[in-house]
């Protein structure tokens, strides 16, 4: 509730707590919450930014260091590898034999794709060059087995995702049973985000084409906010994460998403 009686340090402490819990805040929301002027909130964010507590962005702020540049696919491959393997096993259990599955770009989605090789009769739609390479190599070694591949086309990003109008047009013409999608960052307020604007647009097209949307993201993605959001938490039918995720974040996801699956990681 709005509370104009709060002193500046108290208000800034509450703002900082909100940023740490949700990953990002918007000036307009803070103005309404605290019942103070736009300029007062902006001064609060300026002071928190000078102290290194937050990073200001257009219209608000994110947790300090949360808005990272987009790393390449190879640079991300070894991060949280054990968690990705556990998440992949849990996610592939949601895929029915003979279905049409869309797989987004990213190393977590790539790990999931490696498990799809054993599911019978799949058609896999992807905008990921590494996922396409994985499926093609499997088919070359084992003719007549593995999924049928549909690659969207488009312009590659640093994370080896095909994006842009060509990819979006191809995806919009399709209807898939389930989408398995990763994210650069996840937070309560911003949902799923990526540093790449074009990739966010292509991800939205993938989501619109899918009957069910399954997000797959390990605990390290929570609180990270990329430049562009592409899905709110309440748009997700299922969220697959690992057991290292903070209990507070689990509670938020449990309330927002259709189904939360927490995979145990040794």
Structure confidence at residue 79 (pLDDT): 55
List pLDDT tens digits, range 86-128: 999 999 999 999 999 999 998 899 999 999 998 999 999 999 9
3 and 35 Cβ atoms separated by less than 8 Å: yes
Q: Residue 140: phi, psi to the nearest 5?
A: -65, -35
- Residue 62 sits at the vertex; the CA angle it makes with 13 and 8, to the nearest 5 degrees, is 25
Count, in order, helices (H) and strands (E) of the chain: 10, 15
- Global pTM reads 0.73
Structure confidence at residue 191 (pLDDT): 95
258 and 97 Cβ atoms separated by less than 8 Å: no
Q: Summarize the confidence of residues 194-215 as an average pLDDT.
A: 94
SS3 for 247-262 is HHHHHHHHHHCCCEEE
Pairing mode, strands 176-181 and 210-216: parallel
How long a stretch of residues is the chain?
A: 266
């Amino acid at each position: 509730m709005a509370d104009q009686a709060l002193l500046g340090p108290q208000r800034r402490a509450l703002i900082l707590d909100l940023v740490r819990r949700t990953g990002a805040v918007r000036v307009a929301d803070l103005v309404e919450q605290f019942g103070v002027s736009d300029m007062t909130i902006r001064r609060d964010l300026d002071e928190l930014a000078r102290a290194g507590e937050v990073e200001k962005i257009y219209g608000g702020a994110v947790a300090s260091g949360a808005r990272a540049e987009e790393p390449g696919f190879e640079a991300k491959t070894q991060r949280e590898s054990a968690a990705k393997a556990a998440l992949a096993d849990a996610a592939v259990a949601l895929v029915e034999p003979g279905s049409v599955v869309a797989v987004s770009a990213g190393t977590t989605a790539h790990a999931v794709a490696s498990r799809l090789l054993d599911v019978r009769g799949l058609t896999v739609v992807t905008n990921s060059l590494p996922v396409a390479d994985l499926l093609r190599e499997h088919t070359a070694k084992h003719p007549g087995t593995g999924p049928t591949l549909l690659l969207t086309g488009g312009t590659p990003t640093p994370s080896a995702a095909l994006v842009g109008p060509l990819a979006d047009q191809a995806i919009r013409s399709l209807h898939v049973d389930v989408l398995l999608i990763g994210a650069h960052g996840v937070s309560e307020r911003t949902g799923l985000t990526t540093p790449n604007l074009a990739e966010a647009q292509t991800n939205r097209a993938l989501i619109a084409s899918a009957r069910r949307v399954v997000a797959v993201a390990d605990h390290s993605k929570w609180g990270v906010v990329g430049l562009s959001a592409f899905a709110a938490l309440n748009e997700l039918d299922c969220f697959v994460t690992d057991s290292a995720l903070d209990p507070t974040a689990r509670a938020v996801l449990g309330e927002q998403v259709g189904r939360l699956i927490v995979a145990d990681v040794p």
